[in-house]
Amino acid sequence: MPFRFKKSESPVKAVRRVSLERIGVARERLRDGGHSAAIHDVRREIKKLRAIFRLARGESKRGKYRRSVKALREIAGNLAATRDARMMLNAFEKLTGGDARRFAEIEKMLRKHCHRETRRFRKNDFVAVADRVLRKIERRLDGLKIKASGWAAIEPGFKDSYARGWKAFALVRRKPPSENFHEWRKHVKNLWFYFQLLRPAWPAELRAMTDELKLLGRHLGDEHDLALLQQFAARHCAKQINEAAALDSLIQSRQMELRAAALKLGSRLYAEPPAALCRKLRDCWNLWRDK
CA distance 248 to 52: 37
* Exposure b/e, 198-237, CB count within 10 A at least 16 = b: bbebbeeebeebbebbeebbbbbbbbbbbbbbbebbeeeb
Kindly state whether residue 4 falls inside one of the protein's structural domains. no
Q: Check residue 62 and give its pLDDT.
A: 61
Kindly state whether residue 2 falls inside one of the protein's structural domains. no
- Least confident range from 128-142, 186-200, 219-233, 250-264: namely 128-142
Which is more confidently placed, 124 or 9?
A: 9
The stretch 226-252 carries a mean pLDDT of 94
The stretch 130-146 carries a mean pLDDT of 87
Mean per-residue pLDDT of the chain = 90
How many separate domains does the chain show?
A: 1
Confidence of residue 121 (pLDDT cuts 50, 70, 90): confident
The stretch 105-125 carries a mean pLDDT of 90
Kindly state whether residue 96 falls inside one of the protein's structural domains. yes
Pairs from 184-187 (Cβ < 8 Å, separation ≥ 24)? 184/220, 184/266, 185/217, 185/220, 185/221, 185/223, 185/224, 187/161
- CATH classification of the domain holding 220: 1.40.20.10
pLDDT tops 70 at residue 33:
no
Proportion of the chain above pLDDT 90, given as a percent? 67
Strand, helix or coil for residue 200: helix
CA distance 210 to 139: 32
Q: Check residue 199 and give its pLDDT.
A: 92
Strand, helix or coil for residue 286: helix
> For the chain, how far is it from start to end, CA to CA, in angstroms?
24
- pLDDT tens for 46-85 read 999 999 988 887 545 566 667 788 888 988 888 899 999 9
pLDDT tops 90 at residue 285:
yes
Q: Check residue 61 and give its pLDDT.
A: 56
Kindly state whether residue 6 falls inside one of the protein's structural domains. no
Which is more confidently placed, 34 or 263?
A: 263
Q: Check residue 64 and give its pLDDT.
A: 65
- Cβ proximity of 36 and 86 under 8 Å: yes
Kindly state whether residue 186 falls inside one of the protein's structural domains. yes
- pLDDT tens for 151-193 read 999 999 999 999 999 999 999 999 988 899 999 999 999 999 9
- Least confident range from 10-24, 39-53, 143-157, 181-195: namely 143-157
Q: What are phi and psi of 237, to 5 degrees?
A: -120, 35
Residue 61: domain span? 11-290
Q: Check residue 34 and give its pLDDT.
A: 61
